[in-house]
Chain A
Amino acid sequence: MIEIRGLHKSFGEQKVLEGVDLQIPKGRTTVILGRSGAGKSVLLKHIIGLIKPDKGKISVDGIDITRLGDKDLNEMRKKFGMLFQEAALFDSMTVGDNVAFPLREHTKLKEEDVRGIVAQRLEQVELPGLEEKMPAELSGGMKRRVGLARAIVLDPEIVLFDEPTTGLDPPMAEAIEDLIMKTQRRRGETFVVITHDIQTAFHIAHTIAMLHEGRIVEEGSPEVFRKSSNPVVQAFLARGEEKEVRG
């Protein structure tokens, strides 16, 4: 379980997080929803220790990661996988080497075993046989699938997703969402997804938490969320419906 308590973060004068409290249950998909610039990415990067908070704590399975030194934090990160917004694949490496990267860095597996696992993971993300391609040759949706394969290759307990469907056309976005759900169901890991897309949130979430002006203003299952009387949530829902009608 991930527990965030009283998290504050400012960049210069700009206050981004102003006391975030959130519990992220194990083995479920939690979606953190908020408009662009609400500090969702900043929150996500705190969870994996890429950013240190000004105040507050984040415990992962009871350990406060904000107090860990470089080496311990590095160890802790082996529990995590992360899919970045534009996938952040290493553009100097092939798709196969990208997916194999965590295996080669953190395990002593033989090269043939590494290749076997990479092939299997690429199949899971519905991109079999793409090992030799370079990331620059892939579309946005394909990059994210490869990014997902890389994020889950070490069977992490927690997988973080930074805007997994942003910038994709609707069918591709839906395909990525299906893939996220399928992967979560198959392995039962803890998934944390941040998005500004309410469709994505309703599609994949077990729990939705709404981040607004540096705080979590609403939290609950998609059903609870739909019925929320919170005006911020209402405004967001209205925008979502508008988009649905137009789309």
Chain B
Amino acid sequence: MWKAINTVGEGVAGYIKEMGRIFLLLLDTVRWSLYPPFRFDLLFQQMERVGVKSVLVVVLTGVFTGMVLALQTFYALKKFGAETMVGVTVALSMTRELGPVLTSIMVTGRAGSAMAAEIGSMRVTEQIDALFAMAVNPVKYLIVPRVLASIVVVPILTIIADFVGIVGGYFVGVIILRINAGVYVANMEKYVKLGDIYNGLIKAAVFGLILSLIGCYKGFTTTGGAEGVGRATTQSVVLAAVIILMADYLLTAVMF
């Protein structure tokens, strides 16, 4: 019994310690992002890697999510004769919730994991030490551009996901399920406010911070060779996904 309590306690303590270290890395990242020189070259390079290269996967996720939402809500709303509200439901679900969350989870899988793997293999082959030794701070050189790029790019990807999701919903609702197009769009315009979209984008920026910071942290603290890099990569995806979902609830509770 004591042993079990001990194990759980150690696990929780370890988790809290890790959160503390991630927070310290965040402070370090903020500090180094304020010191000149500002490396726009590295920032744009990361925006391309995190953003441009994630577009396809985000479009696919967004469009099919919008389509399946339309199908599911049609099934439910038909029971109340409210089929024309399918568009509103799809648009609100996408902009407020699914756009930012699914985009961030996809970017975590694609780019957050790559950050952990790349920085992790640099750590185990002493390339991080080499940066320090060459008087180049690795937080400034590696982490600041990745975190800033993610904060900027995840909201942009979310806008794309929102848009294609709504288009996908329209396709299913109007073309396949034959809901009246005029009413479908009019309801959407009436009930979806700009605030719904903005709040979704704020969430997306926070998720961008979370996924990049955790990817970089896991990479930066990698030990144990190639196996360690694999472990860090997996852990970064799992931890970032869980924290994104937790933060999602908190942000929703605060903002809506």
A positions within 8 Å CB-CB of B: 45, 48-50, 70, 74-75, 77-78, 80-82, 84-86, 88-92, 101-102, 105-106, 150, 160
Contacts and interface: CB of A to CB of B under 8 A. Distances in A.
B135 interface: yes
Interface in B53-85: none
A75 B135 contact: yes
Contact of A74 (B126, B129, B130, B135): B135
Nearest to A82: B133
B132 A105 contact: no
Contacts of B122: 90
B125 interface: yes
Given A85-B126, A102-B134, A150-B134, 17 more contacts: A48-B132, A49-B132, A74-B135, A77-B132, A78-B135, A84-B129, A84-B130, A84-B133, A86-B126, A88-B125, A88-B127, A88-B130, A89-B127, A90-B122, A91-B121, A102-B135, A105-B136
B235 interface: no
Contacts of B130: 82, 84, 88, 90
Contacts of A48: 132-133
Given A50-B132, A77-B132, A70 B137 contact: yes
A82 B126 CA distance: 11
Contact of B134 (A75, A77, A85, A92): A77
Interface of B: 118, 121-122, 125-127, 129-130, 132-137
A84 B135 CA distance: 15
Nearest to B130: A88
Given A50-B132, A77-B132, A86 B137 contact: no
A8 to B, nearest CB: 21
A106 B137 CA distance: 12
A60 B222 CA distance: 31
Contacts of A92: 118
Given A84-B126, A86-B126, A88-B127, A50 B133 contact: yes
Nearest to A75: B135
Which 3 pairs, one residue from A and one from B, show the smallest C-beta to C-beta distance? A77-B135, A88-B130, A88-B126
A82 B137 CA distance: 15
Contacts of A90: 122, 127, 130
Nearest to A77: B135
A101 B127 CA distance: 13
A150 B127 CA distance: 13
A88 B137 contact: no
A106 B125 contact: no
B35 to A, nearest CB: 8
A92 B127 CA distance: 11
Nearest to A84: B126
Most buried by A among B122, B127, B135: B135
22 contacts: A45-B129, A48-B133, A50-B129, A50-B133, A75-B135, A77-B133, A77-B135, A78-B135, A82-B130, A82-B134, A84-B126, A85-B126, A88-B126, A88-B129, A90-B130, A91-B121, A92-B118, A102-B134, A105-B134, A105-B136, A106-B135, A160-B133
A149 to B, nearest CB: 13
B46 to A, nearest CB: 13
A144 to B, nearest CB: 13
A177 B136 CA distance: 28
A70 B121 CA distance: 24
A80 B133 contact: yes
A163 to B, nearest CB: 11
A231 B139 CA distance: 46
A88 B129 CA distance: 8
A70 B140 CA distance: 12
A100 to B, nearest CB: 12
B154 to A, nearest CB: 23
Contacts of A84: 126, 129-130, 133
Nearest to B129: A50
Nearest to A162: B126
Nearest to B132: A50
Most buried by A among B127, B129, B130, B134: B134
Contacts of A88: 125-127, 129-130
A194 to B, nearest CB: 14
B224 to A, nearest CB: 14
Contacts of A82: 130, 133-134
Contacts of B135: 74-75, 77-78, 102, 105-106
